[in-house]
């Protein structure tokens, strides 16, 4: 695998995991807290925790990407999963 391909996969995983982690831990919105900052959405979080989310996203992505690399280097692929590569005799042919 080339470095560019590895970076592209890591980048895509990072964004997917970011949006998966983002809603966790949001306690209250500004509207619920009763302190809406002018110019912001009332549904915005009361206390944004961007740095914490970025760190957690990077850690989780690194773990998932390491698993991806180990699986890729082990020689296994989608062809080794029976669901993706059914035996040829499982297809029925019309009788005439």
In a domain, 39, yes or no: yes
pLDDT one-digit tens code per residue, 48-80: 788 999 999 999 999 999 998 998 888 777 677
How many independent structural domains does the chain possess? Answer: 1
In a domain, 59, yes or no: yes
In a domain, 89, yes or no: no
In a domain, 32, yes or no: yes
Q: So what's the pLDDT on residue 5?
A: 92
In a domain, 46, yes or no: yes
User: Which residues form the domain of 72?
Assistant: 3-78
Helix (H) or strand (E) holding 21, with range, is: helix 3-21
In a domain, 21, yes or no: yes
In a domain, 7, yes or no: yes
Tell me the pTM: 0.68
pLDDT one-digit tens code per residue, 1-50: 789 999 999 999 999 999 999 888 777 888 888 888 888 888 888 777 88
In a domain, 23, yes or no: yes
Give residue 75's region: left, alpha or beta (phi > 0; psi -120 to 50): left
């Amino acid at each position: 695998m080339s470095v560019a391909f590895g970076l592209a996969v890591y980048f895509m995983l990072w964004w997917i995991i970011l949006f998966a982690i983002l809603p966790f831990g949001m306690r209250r919105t500004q509207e619920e807290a009763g302190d809406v900052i002018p110019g912001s959405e009332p549904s915005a979080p009361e206390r944004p925790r961007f740095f914490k989310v970025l760190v957690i996203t990077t850690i989780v992505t690194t773990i998932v990407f390491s698993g991806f690399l180990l699986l890729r280097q082990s020689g296994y692929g989608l062809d080794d999963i029976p669901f993706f590569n059914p035996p040829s005799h499982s297809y029925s042919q019309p009788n005439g």
